[in-house]
Amino acid sequence: MLNAKVPEGKIEEKWRNYQAQSRLVNPANKKKLKVIVVGSGLAGAGAAATLAELGYDISCFCYQDSARRAHSVAAQGGVNAAKNYQHDGDSVWRMFYDTLKGGDFRSREANVYRLAELSAPLIDHFTQQGVPFAREYGGVLVNRSFGGVQVERTFYARGQTGQQLLLAAYSQLNKMIRARKVEMFTRHEMLDLVVIDGKAKGIIARDLQSGKIRRFAADAVVLATGGYSRVFRLSTLAIGCNGSALWKAHKRGAFFASPSFTQIHPTALPQSSEAQSKLTLMSESLRNDGRIWVPKTKGDTRKANDIPEEERDYYLERRYPSFGNLAPRDIASRAAKERIDAGYGIGRLKNAVYLDFKHAIERFGMETVNDRYGNLFTMYKKITGIDAYTEPMQISPAAHFSMGGLWVDYELMTTIPGLYAVGECNFSDHGANRLGANSLLQASVDGYFILPNTINNYLAQALKEEHETTEHPEFSKVEQEVKEHIDHILAVNGCKTVDHFHRELGKVMWQECAMSRNKSGLQKAIGQIKKIREDFWTEVNVTGHSNELNTELEKALRLADFIELGILMCTDALDREESCGAHFREEYQTEDGEAVRVDDKYAFVSAWEYSNGDFKLHKEPLDFEFIQPSVRSYK
C-alpha cells in the first residue's frame, strides 16, 4: 500500500528519468501558487530561497528570533561530497555504498544514491554563495575523513561548517525576502496542520511574541523542522528543538517512519549535574587525531597524565583494528557505554572516557593541531575550564540525531498529499545509523536540489484546483482545537514544573530507548511514559497567559507532544526484533557483543499510522537491487 514512487531504470539513471517525466509549472503560473515552508535551517531556508527563485510565493516560519539561528548552525565537523579531489578512490558509487552500509541496510537505495549523486554540485553551490571552506596554500579545497569511511570526502569551514552553510542559506533567503518573494515569520511556532479533503492546505501557528493564534493557507506545506532528539531532554540539540510539527502532522495522517532510530553521538561533554540543560557536542573530527581510552584498572583514581601508556586501554583500536578511533558512531558509543557500565568510566561521575591529543601534538606539532581544532579546544575550555592541549578531554555519549522522521516517498512527499518533509525531520537517507557529515548534506540537498524539482509535479495539479483560504471551516475547527489544547494546559494548575516532567521523560527514554534496548525494558518504559503523561495533565503548572510571550507555555506545548512521541518510539523499538545500526536489541547480539541483523524478517522500513491514540504498523519492503546487504563489520 505504501508507494515509494521510485522511478524505473538503472540506479544511475533514476533521478534523470524522474526529472524528464515530472510535470512542470509554467513560470507565469508559479506566482499564483503559495507554499508554506516551516523551518529556516539548511533544509527550510534552502527550499524557501530556491522555490522563491523559481517564482513561487513563499511563507517561511521559524520559532527563533531570526532565521539564522536554526540548529543547523551548530554543526561543526563538515559536509560530505563525492568530489574525489583527493584521488583516493572515492566515487558516487562508493559514497552510496558507504552510506547504505553505514545505515546498516535500512534505507531506500534510490534515495541514498541520489544523495551521493547530488553531493558534488552542492559544494559548488556553497562555494559560490561565499562559504569560506578550508583551503590548501595553493588555493584548492581541503578534505578530511570522518567516521565510518576510508576516503577523505569531508569539506569543512574550520569547526563551524554548519554555521557557515546555514549563513549562506540565510543570506540567500534574505535576498529573496528583499525581493519580496519570501515572507519570513520569525518567532512563529507551527502548532497544527490543516488538511482539507485529504490534502495539506495550511497551518495554524502561534505568534510567540503576542501569543496570537494565526491561520495560514497554502497550496502545499513543507516541513523542515529538524530533529526531535530533545525527547531525551539531555541532547546535543538546541533547547527549542521539538517534534511538535511532525507530531501534529502524524496525528493528522502522516505516517512516522523508524521513529526509534536515534543516533547517540560518542563525543559529547559528560553530564555534570541534575540541573544540566544540554550536552555540548565535541566534533567527531576530533577522532581523526584524538585517541580514545580508559584506564585498564577499574575505578582508577589517578589523574589522566599520571596513568602510564601500558595501563591505558585504547578500546576502539583494540576491538576494531581496521577503523580504530574512526569506527562509526553507533559502534563507538556502544563501546564507550560498555566500558562505562563495566566500571572503567572516568571523571567525577564516572560517566566519561578520555579523548587524548598527546600523540597528535607530538606527531604534527602544536600549530597544526591548533589550526585543525583550535576553536573546539577553546570551546572546551570555556565550558569545562580545562586545557585540552595539556590534559585529555573527557567525553561521553549523548542523544544527537533522529534518523527517523515522517515517512516520505522518492519525491519527499509524506502520506498526506501536498505535505512534504525535508531535512532531518524526514526518515529518508540514513537508515539505522547516519554517517558523520552526511546530514548537512542531506538537509541541503533536500532543500536546494530535490524538493524544487519534485514539488512541481504536485503543484501542477494544484493549479487546476481551487485555492483554499483561511475562511474554510476546517481552519476554524483546527484553530479552535489548538486554542482548547492551550487552555487545557493552562488550566491544570498543578504543583510541578514542565522541566520536572521533561527530566522524568528523559530518564526513561535514556534508560530504555537509547544505546541498548530490550523487550521487558521497553514494555516497562511504555507504561512509565503513560504514567508521566497522566501526571503531566493533572499536576503540571504553567504560569502566565496564552495571549502574551510565555516561554513556559512554549515548553509545555512541546513537552506534551514529546511525551506522546516517546510512546511511539518505544513501540517501534519493541516491535523491531533485531539489532541494526543504532537500534541495538540486547536479545540480538553475537557472543562478543556485535549486532545481529535479521534480514529475512526486518528488511523493511517501519511506517506507523496514528489511529485513535494507538499506532498501526505499515511496512515498506526494502528490496536491494544494486547492493547486497552484508554483515556490517568494522573490525
Ligand X SMILES: Cc1cc2nc3c(=O)[nH]c(=O)nc-3n(C[C@H](O)[C@H](O)[C@H](O)COP(=O)(O)OP(=O)(O)OC[C@H]3O[C@@H](n4cnc5c(N)ncnc54)[C@H](O)[C@@H]3O)c2cc1C
- Which residues of the chain form contacts with ligand X (CB under 6 A)? 38-44, 61-64, 70-72, 74-79, 161-162, 189-190, 224-227, 236-237, 242, 244-245, 281, 400-401, 423-425, 437-441, 443
Distance CA 83, CA 91 (A): 7
Q: What is the closest distance, in whole angstroms, from the C-beta atom of residue 631 to another protein in the complex? A: 37
* 3-class DSSP assignment, residue 399: strand
Comparing CB distances to another protein, the nearer of 270 and 436 is: 270
Comparing CB distances to another protein, the nearer of 200 and 422 is: 422
Comparing CB distances to ligand X, the nearer of 74 and 239 is: 74
Name the burial class of residue 512, with classes exposed (0-12), middle (13-18) and buried (19+) by CB atoms within 10 angstroms of its CB: buried
Q: Which residues pair with 141 in a beta bridge?
A: 135
Comparing CB distances to another protein, the nearer of 283 and 288 is: 283
* Owner of C-alpha cell 504536485: 458
Comparing CB distances to another protein, the nearer of 71 and 287 is: 71
Comparing CB distances to another protein, the nearer of 187 and 618 is: 187
Comparing CB distances to ligand X, the nearer of 126 and 344 is: 126
Q: What is the closest distance, in whole angstroms, from the C-beta atom of residue 134 to another protein in the complex? A: 7
Comparing CB distances to another protein, the nearer of 393 and 573 is: 393
Within 8 A by CB and 6+ apart from 20, the residues are none
* 3-class DSSP assignment, residue 541: coil
Name the active-site residue from 144, 329, 558, 632.
Answer: 329
Q: What is the closest distance, in whole angstroms, from the C-beta atom of residue 615 to ligand X in the complex? A: 21
242 interacts with, out of another protein, ligand X, none, CB within 5 to 8 A per kind? ligand X
In whole angstroms, how large is the CA radius of gyration of the chain? 24
Q: What is the closest distance, in whole angstroms, from the C-beta atom of residue 538 to ligand X in the complex? A: 25
Compute the C-alpha angle 594/595/600, nearest 5°: 140
Q: What is the closest distance, in whole angstroms, from the C-beta atom of residue 630 to another protein in the complex? A: 33
Q: What is the closest distance, in whole angstroms, from the C-beta atom of residue 593 to ligand X in the complex? A: 27
Locate all alpha helices (DSSP H) within 233-365, ordered by sequence.
244-251, 286-289, 315-319, 329-339, 358-364
Q: What is the closest distance, in whole angstroms, from the C-beta atom of residue 156 to ligand X in the complex? A: 8
Comparing CB distances to another protein, the nearer of 453 and 516 is: 453
209 interacts with, out of ligand X, another protein, none, CB within 5 to 8 A per kind? another protein
Q: Are the C-beta atoms of 90 and 119 separated by less than 8 Å?
A: no
Q: What is the closest distance, in whole angstroms, from the C-beta atom of residue 479 to ligand X in the complex? A: 16
Helix, strand, coil content of the chain in percent (nearest 5): 40, 20, 40
Give residue 60's region: left, alpha or beta (phi > 0; psi -120 to 50).
beta
225 interacts with, out of another protein, ligand X, none, CB within 5 to 8 A per kind? ligand X
Helices 14-21 and 451-462: angle between axes, nearest 10 degrees: 30
CA torsion angle 429 406 540 567 (round to 10)? -80
Distance CA 485, CA 559 (A): 13
Note if 16 is an active site residue: no
Distance CA 353, CA 397 (A): 9
Q: Are the C-beta atoms of 227 and 401 separated by less than 8 Å?
A: yes
Comparing CB distances to ligand X, the nearer of 158 and 358 is: 158
Within 8 A by CB and 6+ apart from 546, the residues are 211, 483, 486, 487, 490, 553
136 interacts with, out of ligand X, another protein, none, CB within 5 to 8 A per kind? another protein
The gap from C-alpha 438 to its chain's centroid, in whole angstroms, comes to: 10
* 3-class DSSP assignment, residue 604: strand
Q: Are the C-beta atoms of 617 and 575 separated by less than 8 Å?
A: yes
Q: What is the closest distance, in whole angstroms, from the C-beta atom of residue 190 to ligand X in the complex? A: 4
Q: What is the closest distance, in whole angstroms, from the C-beta atom of residue 75 to ligand X in the complex? A: 3
438 interacts with, out of ligand X, another protein, none, CB within 5 to 8 A per kind? ligand X
Comparing CB distances to another protein, the nearer of 432 and 443 is: 443
Q: Which residues pair with 607 in a beta bridge?
A: 257, 618
Helices 119-128 and 161-178: angle between axes, nearest 10 degrees: 70
Q: Are the C-beta atoms of 552 and 508 separated by less than 8 Å?
A: no
Q: Are the C-beta atoms of 287 and 432 separated by less than 8 Å?
A: no
Distance CA 81, CA 31 (A): 34
266 interacts with, out of another protein, ligand X, none, CB within 5 to 8 A per kind? none
53 interacts with, out of ligand X, another protein, none, CB within 5 to 8 A per kind? another protein
Cell of 3: 508507494
61 interacts with, out of another protein, ligand X, none, CB within 5 to 8 A per kind? ligand X
Cell of 548: 502574551
42 interacts with, out of another protein, ligand X, none, CB within 5 to 8 A per kind? ligand X
Residue 363 backbone phi and psi in degrees, to 5:
-80, -45
Q: What is the closest distance, in whole angstroms, from the C-beta atom of residue 162 to ligand X in the complex? A: 5
Within 8 A by CB and 6+ apart from 383, the residues are 269, 280
Half-sphere exposure of 507 (CA within 13 A, CB side): 9
Name the burial class of residue 267, with classes exposed (0-12), middle (13-18) and buried (19+) by CB atoms within 10 angstroms of its CB: buried
| Residue 193, number of CB atoms within 10 A of its CB | 26
Among all residues, which ones are annotated catalytic?
329
